[in-house]
Amino acid sequence: MEEGINGLRLTPYGGAGQVTGSNFLIEGARGKILVDCGVEQGKDYCESCSFDDFPYDVPSIDALVITHAHLDHVGRAPRLMKYGFKGTAYMTAPTRDLAELIMRDSAHILAQSAQKRGLAPLYDDKDVDAFLARIETIPYREEREMAPGLFVLLRDTGHILGSASVRIRTEDGTALAITSDLGGSPTPLLPDAEPIPDADVVLIESVYGDRQNPEREHRVPLLRDTLKKAIARGGAILIPSFSIERTQLMLYEIGKLMESNELPTVPIYLDSPLAINVTAVYKKWGSQFFKEEAKKELAHEHDLFTFPFLKLTKDREESELIGRAQNPKIIIAGAGMSHGGRIGKWEQKYLPEPDTTLIMVGYQAPGSPGRVLQDGAKRVTIEHNEVKVRAKVETMHGWSGHADRDGLLSYAETCLPRTNTFLVGLGEPASARFLAQRIHDFLGTRAVVLAKGETIQITKDGIQR
């Protein structure tokens, strides 16, 4: 361990200047903790730098804390095993279950990406098994010493099931908090993000730091009206959806709309083995981790995600039969940025048809096929095939799993650091700079935009760069 560190030392190796690839190294006088180890998602599913060697000494790291199970936060964690990680990986119980699904599902896709570049696979199933053996699940709001002299406490962020912020405290009381991704409020399933009132410096996410989301309050009526029009057009309705949280929200709301006769009843296909398995995890942990209203509804209904018009197509043979089914029909499939999974097959089949509707319900990273479609391209490359786009493309911003500009500022106000110092990361440069300026202007605090690879010293007096 490196001696002579006063307070904490933070170095972002991912999640600075970009949304994806969250990877933060925190060092104390006697211990080291890594927060998140995600892949960088974009045009080619994950960028080549995800395959590089780690820029830090992996065997010297005492603990890894995973904030939540999205691939850009956990996707490289099994690769640590190849580099000699011997510590413990900490996360909430739902995150552990979801992370296993994500890592096993992504292993073969990442292997394909590696093969395309002539590289060795990012990791294999043996690495996943080895990593899973090192996991210890912990509850919210229970502080643990995870590395010598470093004490960690997790709080709910309402982003996806089991998601957490991380507060790291030294023996002398210096404390850094990393919000990770913050959920937009309100949501029908998860509670609001818990404030962090006990840190000297707060690192806050900024995915939508420069944008408001006025659609959030009206997102269900907008979804109803958009689906009504799409069904009336008579074509296939494609919803590329992230397997975690977004898919469950879609099932929850569309099911209610159809059962209340606010939408015509058409077949809905959940064409994603991963999303089907994730939904089972939501059912497993909902009674403990949902917001109170959703817990009561779950206790009464027993299942919030299944209804008569829904067909689960886990096997590839079942999936193929969807193409023979009469339109209109709704196909929900991954991946959310159209950068992999089964949605690519349906986009290649149906995007050239003018009666098709493509509904985007999540963040689309720059360079991803989803962003290209969202930006109005008439042609898009999907799985190395150029596809003509005649379909109607709709974007519904209200379903984002992230807090918007005003939500982030309001949350920051509830977490005013003891030194009035915020660090801003986990966002594209423009959104990070915009949020930093708003925090400075509205809250009268210091707000510094993180730079990848820059080491920041954190003490009870603030930061030194």
Whether residue 42 has pLDDT greater than 70: no
Q: Supply the DSSP string of 85-105, one letter for each residue.
A: --SEEEE-HHHHHHHHHHHHH
Looking at residue 316, what is its pLDDT? 92
Q: 14 and 76 in contact (C-beta within 8 Å)? A: no
Report which secondary-structure segment, H or E, holds 223.
Answer: helix 219-233
> Which residues belong to CATH 3.40.50.10890 in the chain?
216-399
Amino acid identity of 4? G
The domain 8-211+401-464: what is its CATH number? 3.60.15.10
Separation between Cα atoms, residue 77 and residue 87, nearest integer Å: 12
Q: Which residues is 67 bridged to in the sheet?
A: none
Q: What is the mean predicted confidence (pLDDT) over 387-413?
A: 94
Is the bond leading into 328 cis (omega within 30 degrees of zero)? yes
Report which secondary-structure segment, H or E, holds 22.
Answer: none
Whether residue 47 has pLDDT greater than 60: no
Comparing CA positions, the residue from 318, 161, 355 lying closest to residue 242 is: 161
Q: What is the mean predicted confidence (pLDDT) over 198-223?
A: 93
3-class state of residue 51 by DSSP: helix
Strands 310-312 and 268-270: parallel
> Which residues belong to CATH 3.60.15.10 in the chain?
8-211+401-464
Comparing CA positions, the residue from 207, 65, 202 lying closest to residue 140 is: 65
pTM above 0.75, yes or no: yes
User: Can you say how many angstroms the Cα of residue 290 is from the centroid of all Cα atoms in its chain?
Assistant: 17
How do residues 156-185 score in pLDDT, each as one tens digit? Answer: 999 999 999 999 999 999 999 999 999 998
Q: How confident is the prediction for the chain on average, in pLDDT?
A: 93
Looking at residue 399, what is its pLDDT? 87
Looking at residue 48, what is its pLDDT? 52
How do residues 401-454 score in pLDDT, each as one tens digit? Answer: 899 999 999 999 999 999 999 999 999 999 999 999 999 999 999 999 999 999
Q: What is the mean predicted confidence (pLDDT) over 274-299?
A: 97
Q: What is the mean predicted confidence (pLDDT) over 357-364?
A: 89
Whether residue 55 has pLDDT greater than 80: yes
How do residues 58-99 score in pLDDT, each as one tens digit? Answer: 999 999 999 999 999 999 999 999 999 999 999 999 999 999
Q: Could you tell me the fold of the domain covering 216-399?
A: Rossmann fold (3.40.50)
Whether residue 367 has pLDDT greater than 60: yes
Share of the chain above pLDDT 90, in %: 81
